[in-house]
Each structure stands twice: as C-alpha cells, then as structure tokens.
C-alpha cells in the first residue's frame, strides 16, 4: 500500500495523526510544576539523613603531645580515648605537625590502628604518614607537616596511636606534635 500512496502521502498521514493526538492532551498535563523553595532558619534547619547509610556517625579526634627531652627512638602517643567496642572508625583524613627545636626533627611518623581478631584480642597495624618540611623560620627551626586523604579502619575497644621517630635525641623542652584524624564510625558487624 505504501508503494501506491507514495512516501509523501504516508508522511502527510503521520503528520495529521500527530497533530490530532497532540490536540487532545489537556494543557494542564503539558505544563511543569513550579520549583519548591524551602527557606528555614538556622534555629529550625531542614532535617536530613544519609539515606545510603544512616548508621554513619561523624568523628574527629585531636591530640597534642610532646616527645620528652632526652628521648631516643620511637615515641607513641594516644589520640583521644578508646573508640567504643561496638563501633569501627573509618578514618578518611589525617593532619599532623611537629616542631624541630634544636635541629632534631621527626624522621618518621606512623598511625597505628587496631583490628579486632575476636574474643577481645587485637592485631595492630602501623601506617606511615608522608611528611613535608616547611621553610626554616627566623630561628632556623622547621615544622614537619602532613595532610593526607585516605581510608583506614580502626576497630573499637582501643585508642588510636601515633608514633614519632626522631633524627636524634629530643632537646630540652621536647619535640611538640599535634595530630587530628577525622572520618566516621559505623557499627561493628
């Protein structure tokens, strides 16, 4: 039949059919609804939740410590207190800075995390933190800093630890260090 009518006639019939169908759709179905704008104050914020995982609980821990004067070797310091035993801390970011009074500075910094092996026992893992040296200040001292985005896991029941190994004997007044870790906790399964 298409051969008898020709292509032009078939296209004409299709065009007329589309015009008839489009004319029967009500105008209200063709318009889009207006955007909804919510303006709450900070005293009454819009409630939100993480639909992907409502069990997330943000956590940030900070610690300041000093490697004592005369110390040689690797010195460990806790970061905050123990994570609750029924939670796992997912560490996403670490920042660290440590002074270098008298030319003695950290040679290596590590973060130690705990892995629960069952029945209250733990296996500990130490990961190096990549350090950068600042330009010497007016008195010749430098600061070693680190800022690292990562994904490490620390099981509850133990405190996080950071370790500092120095290039020499800690001078009088010690070597001051600051560390901050952030991420979130989830229930232990």
The CATH number linked to 100 is: 2.60.120
How many domains does the structure of the chain reveal?
Answer: 1
Whether 71 is in a domain gets the answer yes
pLDDT for 113? 93
Whether 50 maps to a domain, the answer reads no
Residue 114 inside a domain? The answer is yes
Instruction: Let me know if residue 1 belongs to a domain.
Output: no
User: In this predicted model, what pLDDT tens digit does every residue of 78-131 receive, in sequence order?
Assistant: 998 888 888 999 999 999 999 887 778 888 999 999 999 888 889 999 999 989
Report pLDDT digits (tens) over 125-182.
Answer: 999 998 998 888 887 788 899 999 999 999 988 899 999 999 889 888 888 999 999 9
141 assigned to some structural domain: yes
Domain extent at residue 149 = 57-187
Which residue from 126, 184, 125, 117 is spatially nearest to 157, judged by alpha carbons? 117
DSSP SS3 for 64: strand
This model's pTM is above 0.75? no
> Does residue 46 carry a pLDDT above 80?
no
Q: Is residue 139 part of a domain?
A: yes
CA distance 122 to 113: 10
Rounded Cα–Cα distance for residues 129 and 178 (Å): 13
Q: How confident is the model at residue 55 (pLDDT cuts 50, 70, 90)?
A: low
Q: How far apart are CA 181 and CA 110, in angstroms?
A: 13
């Amino acid at each position: 039949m298409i051969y008898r009518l020709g292509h032009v006639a078939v296209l004409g019939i299709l065009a007329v059919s589309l015009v008839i169908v489009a004319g029967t759709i009500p105008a209200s179905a063709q318009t889009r609804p207006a955007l909804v704008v919510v303006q709450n104050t900070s005293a009454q914020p819009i409630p939100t939740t993480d639909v992907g995982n409502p069990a997330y609980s943000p956590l940030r821990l900070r610690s300041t410590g000093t490697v004592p004067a005369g110390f040689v070797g690797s010195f460990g310091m806790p970061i905050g207190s123990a994570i609750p035993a029924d939670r796992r801390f997912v560490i996403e970011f670490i920042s660290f800075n440590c002074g270098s009074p008298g030319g003695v500075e950290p040679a290596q910094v590590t973060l130690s995390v705990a892995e629960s092996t069952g029945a209250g026992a733990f296996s500990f893992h130490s990961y190096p933190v990549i350090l950068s040296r600042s330009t010497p200040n007016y008195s010749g001292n430098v600061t070693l800093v680190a800022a690292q985005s990562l994904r490490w896991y620390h099981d509850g029941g133990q405190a996080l630890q950071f370790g500092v190994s120095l290039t020499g004997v800690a001078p009088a007044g010690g070597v001051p260090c600051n560390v901050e870790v952030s991420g979130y906790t989830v229930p232990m399964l």
